Amino acid sequence: MLSDRLLELGGLAQLQRIASDKSPWAVLATLLLIASVGVIIDYARMLWLRSKMPPGPLPLPIVGNTFQLPENKPWLWFEELSKRYNNPLVTVWIGRNPTVWINDAWSASELLDKRAGIYSSRPRMVVFAELGAGQNNMVNMYTMTPEQRERWRVHRKLMHHAVGSQQVRKYRQFQNDESKVVALDLLRDPADYVKHFERYATSVVSIIGFGRRVESPKDPIITEVIAVMHLAADLNVPGKSFPMLMETFPWLSKFPNAIAPWKHGLGKKRGSSFFYAVAEEAAKKEGHDEAFVKYLFEKQPEFRLNDDEIAGLSGNLFGAGSDTSSSTLVTFVLACCAFPETLKPAWEEIDRVVGPHRSPHFDDEPNMPYVRAFVKEVLRWRSVAIIGGQPHAPTQDDHYKGYLIPKGTWVQGNVWAIHHNESEFPEPDRFNPNRFFPSDPNNRPFPGEKGYMTFGWGRRVCSGQVLAEQGTWITVARLLWGFHIQKKKRPDGSVVDVDIFNYTNGLNMRPQPFECSITPRSREHKETIEREGRQALQDLEQYRGESKYRMSTFYHESSRALKLYGDKE
């Protein structure tokens, strides 16, 4: 850039003068002068860009607005800024780099959907990409050049084979069976509903990816992998503390881990990837030739996939399907407890269509419009990917409503603000499925046919969207059909209240733990749940299996093996 070139030329001239002057004070003064001139030039660049870009708070030199970011839930602050500046787009500076936050559905649709060809790339992401999987994972991949776009298309094509819209219809049988097992688990042990949801969601993607189900909520593939995902989601929230402070000061990421505790272990070179080992193990086992990992190894020579790419593609199934889907179901339970008036219309519709002697199946969906609206409201009311996943970046300078959005800028959709904009969703914190019916007074126009933007936009939309929607519908419908889900009563008759705002702070948010009551609606429903659950377990027996690998020991053992061969971390 021009400012960097001027600084370089000025620095060379000063260094020539330093060479003829031995005084350390003169050297120090000159270096301070060069630094000051560089900061002034760079700040002038920032202010010039600020005058061209969407409005936002005044950035400071070098640090931008980083230290104005709130400690928790920054998406609320971005929403507040949007209202303060009366603009759907706001610019917040993370260090020397601007980030544009979209707080309106129509602007998000215009930029990220209709201009998807421009906004399909990623910006520089120090924490999530450079210190993580980098360009071996399609979630992080740049598409700035034709070569990068082609590599990303290869990954998207492979992922589409696993969870494309036509492919996921083939998964309905075992997805339905796993949903029946959830109902059986809730009947036997309702207090651990969160663990049952995590087992269900993880088992579905494990069958798709590795050809084996997850039978127990204590299986390490759940307890360890989801814990790591929660940690990653927490660490990658835009903020003023480490490790995200490295986005403001990228040079801090260059320090070795041994002397850089702020890196939280990120960027540490290890042995072979855990997910590659799990994928290779499953690919070598006989049977279940439809498993995604077997397809990946079959296509490895054709698409020149390296080990890290196979690890990323197989691991992404868990990221796209386990934590997010289970968190959505926890939000569903919270909504039932907080807004019991929405349940009666669901019961009336389900009883009319299904009755107590069988649970809903996918063919019932067209006949249950209220349940379909209920699921939409679950996805809208408290979306899991609250800032729309990873940021987009334009591949060229773009202009929108007179504002400049420079090439490579971090552009992010604020799903919270979009789904809580009263122009589209009156009383946005009220859980109200009726808002999706055209005849309802709270119904408002919304871009796209779905009525929500839970899964992102354009070419970077969540790969597992159709799978997640399919699984959410059948499980919500089944649990509405079979159970009373309500606030828990204490022995003295008082009720344990719930807080609809008490959510985690990560990129994938979910309700903080809360107590509730989950009981069968009738004896007939209970008997049906037991009968169908037992049959589902028999049908799923073909997917029985277990991995020998544990994330908690894998990296320790692989690191030890590397040291035996003289390799250094």
Which residues define the annotated binding site?
A: 462
Quick one: DSSP state of residue 55?
A: P
8 A C-beta contact, residue 276 and residue 308 = yes
Residue positions counted in the chain: 569
SS3 for 97?
Answer: strand
8 A C-beta contact, residue 283 and residue 549 = no
In this structure, what are the phi and psi dihedrals at residue 89, rounded to the nearest 5 degrees?
Answer: -110, 135
8 A C-beta contact, residue 124 and residue 463 = no
Binding residues for heme: 462
Q: Which residues pair with 485 in a beta bridge?
A: 518
SS3 for 293?
Answer: helix
Residue 175 one-letter amino acid: Q
CA distance 82 to 99: 14
SS3 for 402?
Answer: coil
Looking up tokens 């270096």 gives 31
Q: How many C-beta atoms surround the C-beta of residue 351 within 10 A?
A: 12
Smallest Cα–Cα separation from 512: which of 504, 500, 523, 520? Answer: 504
Structure tokens at 445: 């126009």
Q: Which residues pair with 92 in a beta bridge?
A: 99
CA distance 311 to 305: 10
The backbone region for 304, taken as left when phi is positive above 0, alpha when psi lies in -120 to 50, beta otherwise, is left
Quick one: DSSP state of residue 421?
A: -
Q: Where are the beta strands (DSSP E) in 154-214?
A: none
Residue 177 one-letter amino acid: D
Contacts of residue 443, defined as CB under 8 A and 6 or more positions apart, other chains included, come to 435, 436, 437
Quick one: DSSP state of residue 430?
A: S
The backbone region for 472, taken as left when phi is positive above 0, alpha when psi lies in -120 to 50, beta otherwise, is alpha
CA distance 328 to 321: 11
